[in-house]
A and B are shown apart, each in its own frame.
Chain A
Amino acid sequence: MKRVYVNEDWCLGCHLCEYYCAFANSGIDDMAKAFKLGKDAAPRIRVEEGEGGKNFAVQCRHCEDPICVKGCITGALSINNGVIEINQERCVGCYTCVLTCPYGCIVIDSKNDNKTITKCELCTRNSQGEPACVANCPNKAIVFEERG
C-alpha cells in the first residue's frame, strides 16, 4: 500500500504541510479564508523539530495492525483498503486512541470543539485526492509511495 514517508534530510521544518493539511480538510476553497473564517485548524500532520536542525513531519502511519482501531470502544475507527478512517458520528471522544497511538498521530478535533478526534486519511475523503502534505512540500521531503 502507498504510504506517506518523510525524509528528514530534506525536511526544512517550514511547517507548511501542517497548514496545507488543515486547509485540505477545512472544506473551504480559499486558503486565507480557511484560516481566517474557519474554526481552529486541526492539522493531522505535525512537524517535529529536533537537535541540529533535524526536522521531520509525522502523521498516521496507517499501521497494518493498528491498536487505535482495536482500542476504539464505539467502532468509530475502521480500516478501509488499508487506510484507517474515522467516523465522527460514532466517536464519543473517549480519547483511548489518543492514549494508545505510539506515534501521537491522533488529533483532537478543535474544529469540533474537542468532542471528537480526527486523523490523517491520506486525503482520500477530501477534495484533494492525493495527500496535500506531499503535493505541497517545497523540498520533496514528504513522499507518497509503495515501500516493502
Chain B
Amino acid sequence: MSLNLFPAQFEVLRNTDKCIKCRACERQCANEVHYYDADYDKMLTHDDQCVDCQRCVAICPTGALKIRKNENEFRQSANYTQQIIIENYRQADTGAVLLSSMGTPKDYPVYWDKLLINASQVTNPSIDPLREPMETKVFLGKKPASIKKNPDGSINTDIDPHLELNVPIMFSAMSYGSISKNAHESLARAAEELGTYYNTGEGGLHKDFYKYGKNTIVQVASGRFGVFKGYLDAGSAIEIKMGQGAKPGIGGHLPGAKIREDVSRTRMIPMGTDAISPAPHHDIYSIEDLRQLIFSLKEATEYTKPVIVKIAAVHNVAAIASGIARSGADIIAIDGFRGGTGAAPTRIRDNVGIPIELALAAVDQRLRDEGIRNEVSIVVGGSVRSSSDAVKAIALGADAIYIGTPALLALGCHLCRSCHAGKCNWGIATQRPDLVKRLNPEIGYKRLVNLVHAWDHEIKEMMGGMGINSIEALRGNRLMLRGIGLTEKELKILGVQHAGE
C-alpha cells in the first residue's frame, strides 16, 4: 500500500553541532533507523522504524541524539484517541491480531501508590538497620500447623521441603527463547550471589546453566517444553505455570525464527518450528487434575522440592487459590495484570485480569479465613516496581515477590515494548547473535545484584521505621498500611484503614 495512514511514532533529533559522524548509532540500531549519506556528508534517519529503545542515545559519545514522541496529531477526541485510531489503521493494513510486549501502558489505578506505610514515633521505638540486626530472610513452603513430638519426646523437625531466600525477592519466570542466553546467565549468576532464585520460564534449562541449579526454579507449563527428569532434578523448586498476569487465559507462541539451534535443543523441539503453548494444560481441568500433576512432579523428584503453582490474577482468584492450597502445592505465585510479557495480544494484555494488590489481599484473607494460610506461601509479581511496592505487598500478606521488569531494567531494557519484534537492541529479548552479545553477563549480573541489594537496604530502612526487625513480623501486618483516596469498597478488599483512621 503506497499510502501510509499513520506517521512515525517517534522523531530522532540530532544536534549536528555535536554529531561527529562516528556512525555508532547506525551500527547499534537493529531497526536500521540511522544511516550515513555520503552526498550530504550527514547522518540521516528513517524515523518510522524507531521504537524509542534509546540504544543510540546511550551509545552516542557526544550526546548528540534525542528521541521524541512525534507531535503530529490526528484530530482526536476523548473517545477516539490517537492510539485507538492508529490501532484500527494497523489492523486494516494487516488483518491481524495486535501484538504487544511488556506490561500494559494503560492508565489503570496502581494501588501501591494509594497505600502509605506507617512509622514509629515516641511510643514505639524505630530501629536503625545500620546499627541493629535486621532480618529479611524468608523460607517458602508449607508450615506445620502444629508441633509434633517424636516417641522420645524430642520435637519432630521433619518438615516439608522449603526454599530459603536471603532476600524476599526472586526473579520471575522469563524463558530462554523469549530472552537471550546472556540475559539468563545474568539472572542465574545474580540469583546465586544473592542467595535467591531465578526462574527458567517454560523454555527449559540450557545445559550450561545446570550448575546454577540450587538457585533455579524450573517451570512446567502447558507446552511442557524441555521437561524431563534431569530438568526437574536440576532445580530447587518446580513451578507449574497455569497462567500469566499479562495474558490470563491464553497460551504462548514463540515464533519459529527464534527457535535457533540452542533454543531448539533446550526446548526439545525441531529448529524453526513455532513453539506453541496451549491456553490450558490439556491434562488439567479441575483442582483434582492439578493435584495429580503436583504429586506426579513430587513423586518424580522424591518429595525433595517444593511445588509452586503460578496463576494469573483473575476475578475469582481467591477461590482458585483456596483450591490450589488444598491440592498439595507448597507455594502459590500470583501474577497481576500489569505484569510484563515477551509478547501478548494487545487486547488481552490491556483488558484481562485484575490488579495484583486486590488479588493478593483477597487471597491472603481467604486462606486465613479458611485456616489454611500455613499450607502455602504466597509469592506475588506483576508490577512490583520498587522496594516500597515490595514492602506493601508483604504487609498485604505476601511471603516474597517476583520481579521481572525491574530485573530487565537493570540489564538495560528501556521498556520500548517491542520484545515481540525480536530485534532487542539491548541484547535481552532477542536470539540474533550479534545483538545477544551486547549483553555481557559480567556486567549484567553485577547490575542485578546491585539492584536487589539496594532494594534490600530500602526494605530494611522501611521496616526499621516501623519498628519491625524481621520480615516475618511485617507479613500480613496490614495495620502498617493506610489507604489514601480509596473508596470504602477498595479499603474493604485491601483490608486496610484509610489514612487518618
Interface residues of A (CB under 8 A from B): 9-10, 12-16, 18-20, 23, 31-32, 35-36, 52-53, 136, 138-141
Residues of A within 8 A of B22 (CB): 15-16, 18-19, 35
Whether B438 is near chain A, meaning CB under 8 Å from some CB there, is yes
Q: In the complex the two chains form, is B61's CB within 8 Å of A19's CB?
A: yes
Whether B114 sits at the interface, judged by CB under 8 Å, is no
Q: Determine if B24 and A53 form an interchain contact, defined as CB atoms under 8 angstroms apart.
A: no
B68 CB–A CB distance under 8 Å? no
Of all chain A residues, which has the CB nearest B58? A138
* CB-CB under 8 A for A32 and B59, given A12-B28, A15-B27, A16-B24: no
A32 and B437 in contact (CB under 8 A), knowing A13-B27, A19-B22? no
Most interface-central of B18, B62, B64, B433 (chain A CB within 10 A): B62
Report the Cα distance A15→B438, complex, angstroms. 14
Residues of A within 8 A of B23 (CB): 15
Residue of B17, B59, B61, B443 with most partner-chain A CB within 10 A: B61
| Chain B residues at the A interface, C-beta cutoff of 8 Å | 17-24, 27-28, 58-59, 61-62, 64, 433-434, 437-438, 440, 442-443
Main secondary structure of the interface of A (DSSP, over half): helix
A-B contact count (CB 8 A): 56
A139, closest chain B residue (CB): B440
Give every chain B residue within 8 A of A53 (Cβ-Cβ). 433-434, 437
Q: Is the CB of B28 within 8 A of A140?
A: no
Distance, CA A132 to CA B443, complexed state (A): 19
Task: Let me know if B64 and A138 touch, CB within 8 A.
Answer: no
Q: Tell me which of A12, A19, A31, A139 contacts B443 (CB under 8 A).
A: A139
Cβ of A32 and Cβ of B18 under 8 Å apart?
yes
| Residue pair A36, B61 in contact (C-beta under 8 Å) | no
A18-B442 Cα distance, complex, nearest whole Å: 23
Known A-B contacts A9-B437, A12-B437, A139-B443; A32 and B24 likewise in contact (beta carbons under 8 Å): no
Taken together as a complex, chains A and B put the C-alpha atoms of A11 and B442 apart, in Å, by 13
Give the distance in Å from the alpha carbon of A16 to the alpha carbon of B21 in the complex: 11
Q: Is the CB of A138 within 8 A of B59?
A: yes
